[in-house]
């Protein structure tokens, strides 16, 4: 989560919403990414999506079986869907997101009968720091 | 929808799940894609995701305001989330997907209070042909 938070901080400095994500397997970092929606521009370029795409490319496989995803904010419905498609084993996220989250809020993607894979979910590690990064970012842009 | 169905048919011939998507603005095709999850490999490479990414790149903007998305199958939660992020104006899909859909089934992404944009939705045009493509594809692989 330390690395995900550093990626989020770098994203903020680049003018992107500060969210970072890291894919890990057996203690080894397979891929990492920060949010890049503005730079590309690409509305799907959330940190989780980019980290999953890069991990699949690095491993040469569609399913990231045995891989964990660490991300600084509760994934939205799009990213939760991608996590299910990728068969991520464990999802760790820092801050929860009542406004846009799709795990414990809104679409609750993993709780649906149409969801073909539900990772183990651990929330809250690094929550304070992740939330502060987002708060400061949006406060500075007002 | 004719073009989306042709893309789906080509995907089947390439060994991919036969789904096609086209982004249109003011009657002009901005981007199109077929499912490419196996070829890349990339679990997020659904036809809708690729078409949205290509349209954003082609237009140089994160939000596809005024653009319509035509796709041969009801989008899953991931793709519905991407459609909301991209601010797609109208969503047209052919077959509905009780097992994996995220629009009228499961996560019902656009009906959630956390969803920041809901397109106009039109379902059923080309339904028979889209469903037959999928049925034949999976039957041949059994």
Q: Testing the interface with A: which of B67, B98, B114 to mutate, by most A Cβ within 10 A? A: B114
Query: 3-class SS at B29?
Result: strand
Judge contact between B66 and B26, C-beta under 8 A: yes
Strand partners for A34: A20
In a 10 Å sphere around its CB, with 0-12 CB exposed, 13-18 middle and 19+ buried, how is residue B113 labelled?
A: exposed
Instruction: State the pTM of this model.
Output: 0.96
Whether residues A82 and B40 touch (CB distance < 8 A) is answered with: no
Q: Is A46 annotated as a binding residue?
A: yes
Please give, rounded to a whole number of angstroms, the shortest distance from the CA of B118 to a CA of chain A.
Answer: 14
First to last CA, chain B: 28
Q: Testing the interface with A: which of B41, B44, B102, B103 to mutate, by most A Cβ within 10 A? A: B44
pLDDT (tens place) for every residue of chain A, 142 residues total: 999 999 999 999 999 999 999 999 999 999 999 999 999 999 999 999 999 999 999 999 999 999 999 999 999 999 999 999 999 999 999 999 999 999 999 999 999 999 999 999 999 999 999 999 999 999 998 7
Judge contact between A46 and A74, C-beta under 8 A: no
CB-nearest partner of A42 from B40, B57, B112? B57
């Amino acid at each position: 989560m330390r690395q995900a938070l550093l990626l989020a901080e770098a994203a903020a400095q680049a003018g992107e919403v500060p969210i970072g994500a890291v894919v890990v397997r057996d203690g080894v970092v397979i891929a990492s990414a920060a949010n890049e929606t503005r730079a590309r521009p690409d509305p799907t370029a959330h940190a989780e999506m980019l980290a999953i795409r890069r991990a699949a490319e690095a491993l040469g496989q569609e399913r990231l079986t045995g891989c964990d995803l660490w991300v600084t904010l509760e994934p939205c419905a799009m990213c939760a869907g991608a996590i299910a498609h990728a068969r991520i084993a464990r999802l760790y996220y820092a801050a929860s997101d009542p406004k846009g989250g799709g795990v414990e809020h809104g679409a609750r993607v993993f709780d649906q009968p149409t969801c073909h894979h539900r990772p183990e979910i651990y929330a809250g590690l690094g929550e304070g720091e992740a939330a502060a990064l987002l708060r400061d970012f949006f406060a500075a842009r007002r």
